[in-house]
Amino acid sequence: MDINRAKEIAASPIMEDVKYNGTQVYIQHVDEEKGTARIYSLAEPDQEIEVPLRSLIEQSSTMGMEVDQVACRVSDMDSEG
């Protein structure tokens, strides 16, 4: 996950769909120097852990990228036609 996006999510009152190892988590804090985030699972809020930002996935952004990639492929096929 991009560090700026992680900071936005951590500061936002809106709960985003962020996952770590397939489990939905809440971002408590982002450490820019280390490139890590302190997170906790929604199922176990008392169990905070620090993880690399690259290990966090925002579900909505992943789906958005997949849709963009499909749209590009369709557009490429139309121009070849």
**Does the pTM exceed 0.85?**
no
Q: CA angle, 44 as apex, 55 and 11 as ends, to 5°?
A: 60
Higher local confidence (pLDDT), 36 or 60 = 36
pLDDT at 41: 95
What's the order of all strands across the beta sheet hosting 36-41?
A: 44-52, 36-41, 23-31, 18-20, 56-58
8 Å CB contact between 16 and 9: yes
Structural domain spans, the chain: 3-80
What does pLDDT average to over the chain? 83
Residue 44 has pLDDT above 60, yes or no: yes
Q: What is the pLDDT of residues 50-81, one digit of tens each?
A: 999 999 999 875 444 444 444 445 445 555 55
8 Å CB contact between 28 and 9: no
| Both tokens assigned to 11 | 């500061």
